[in-house]
């Protein structure tokens, strides 16, 4: 599976830097990823929903470390391009 498109939607907030969507194989899109400034730098948070008890649960997430690293690398690269423009 290949990431064929990444779209970045910058935000002006302190911790939330942008929303993102990614498309796999020009046929499946995942929306609601977030670029977040954490204590160790930028990271990509997966789409989630708030549960009745106040905690959050991921709606979609990678199943392997390799997939997570690939998604994070592509989204952060596109984010860096977007903020330079």
3-state secondary structure at position 25: coil
Q: Which residues contact 56 (CB under 8 A, 6 or more apart)?
A: 48, 49, 50
Predicted TM-score (pTM) of the model is 0.88
Q: Where are the domains of the chain?
A: 3-84
Domain 3-84 has CATH 3.40.50.970: no
pLDDT tens digits along 36-74: 999 999 999 999 999 999 999 999 999 999 999 999 999
pLDDT tens digits along 4-36: 999 999 998 889 999 999 999 999 999 999 999
By CB atoms closer than 10 A (0-12, 13-18, 19+), residue 20 is buried
């Amino acid at each position: 599976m290949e990431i064929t498109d990444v779209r970045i939607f910058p935000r002006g907030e302190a911790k939330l830097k942008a929303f993102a969507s990614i498309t796999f194989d020009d046929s499946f899109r995942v929306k609601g990823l977030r670029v977040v400034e954490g204590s160790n730098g930028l990271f990509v948070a997966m789409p989630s929903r708030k549960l009745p008890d106040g905690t959050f649960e991921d709606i979609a997430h990678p199943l392997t470390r390799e997939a997570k690293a690939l998604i994070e690398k592509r989204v952060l690269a596109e984010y860096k391009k977007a903020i330079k423009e």
